[in-house]
Amino acid sequence: MTAETRPNGSEAVAGLDPVIELKGVSHWYRGEGMPAVDDVDLRVGEGEIVALVGESGCGKSTLGRIMCGSVKPAEGEVEFRGRSLAGISGKALQRFRLQAQMVHQDPFASLNPGLRLRTTLGYAVRHHKLVGRRDVDDFLVEMLRRVGLDASREFLDRYPHQLSGGQRQRVAIARAFSLNPRLIVADEAVSMLDVSMRVSLLDLMLGFHDEHGMAYVFISHDLGVVRYFAGEGRIVVMFFGVIVEEGLTEDVISSPSHPYTASLLESLPVPDPRRARARRERERLMDLEASASRPDGVIKESGCVFRHRCPLAQDRCEEAPPLLTVGGTHRSACWFHEEVTSGTGR
């Protein structure tokens, strides 16, 4: 699969079989009134790249963990390649865990500090009998070289603390790809690295996509990184556990149809310090107003989840808007999406 034939959003909706599909998925954490994920429907096609975007605490990481099976949703259904994950066990569960892999934000936290790389990388390869036992070391060395590391059998004897942050993240990526998954959930996978290292790892992951055609769910708060990685895929924007906008990457970035997406785009760095200070002050006042208007102790409010921070909020926003089609595969959960698109709401 080449870059020119990467699936786009319309193909994901109309033509590609789903690799993962969420239907009415909700999840609460103990002690929290508001759901981390609230009645989410999401479909990711085979070989598709979908970027999941939103601020910290919006539920995107929880949604990623649900897709990989490390968190069981409180409500709703998750299907992997057409089969429900509810109640699966034994070999079926093992196959799913083999085919759905996660790359975490912090590679040092995701790699056991007390285990050598040979053990960390080799356990699943041996357990699932992906290569012969005698060939495991050679297989691991080749995988590490493919992710840009100058690896050898001696390299496999190292511990995570003996590697740089970039090297650890490459090891984490090698571990995920060594299992030949059909779905990769990358949760802020490059956010802790410097810019030059980010581009290198993004290109690395895209190269694996072009070669093997696995699907990606790329979780990030950085729209610049998202535009680079998922330029020919889709963006799904989340706020307070709810999907508020989705569509082809360029459609969403060039013509946002939800005021929250517009605010995310406005938060991208600007070279003018005066504009940056004015924007921070405006956002601070909006957050204070939102905190004052949002009632405490509410388990789940009705209405639009963004209305307490929205410059377009009106009485109608007391009713939660559905994801409305605004053109092609572009959808927005806003009653006044036309005003956002025209620029009057930004």
DSSP 56-114: TTSSHHHHHHHHHTSS--SEEEEEETTEE-TT--HHHHHHHHHHEEEE-S-HHHHS-TT
Dist. CA 317–CA 336, nearest whole Å:
9
> What pLDDT score does 193 carry?
75
pLDDT > 70 fraction of the chain, expressed in percent and rounded: 84
Residue 288, pLDDT above cutoff 60: no
Which whole number is the average pLDDT over 230-249?
95
pLDDT tens across 325-344, in order?
A: 998 999 999 999 988 876 64
pLDDT tens across 54-105, in order?
A: 988 899 999 999 999 999 999 999 999 999 998 888 888 888 988 999 998 8
pLDDT tens across 126-160, in order?
A: 888 888 889 999 999 999 998 889 989 999 999 99
Task: Report yes or no: 80 and 99 within 8 Å, Cβ to Cβ.
Answer: yes
Q: How sure is the predictor about 300, in pLDDT bands with cuts at 50, 70 and 90?
A: low
* 223 closest CA partner among 237, 204, 209: 237
Dist. CA 147–CA 317, nearest whole Å:
48
Task: Report yes or no: 249 and 233 within 8 Å, Cβ to Cβ.
Answer: yes
Dist. CA 275–CA 223, nearest whole Å:
19
> Residue 190: is it exposed, middle or buried by C-beta count within 10 angstroms (0-12/13-18/19+)?
buried
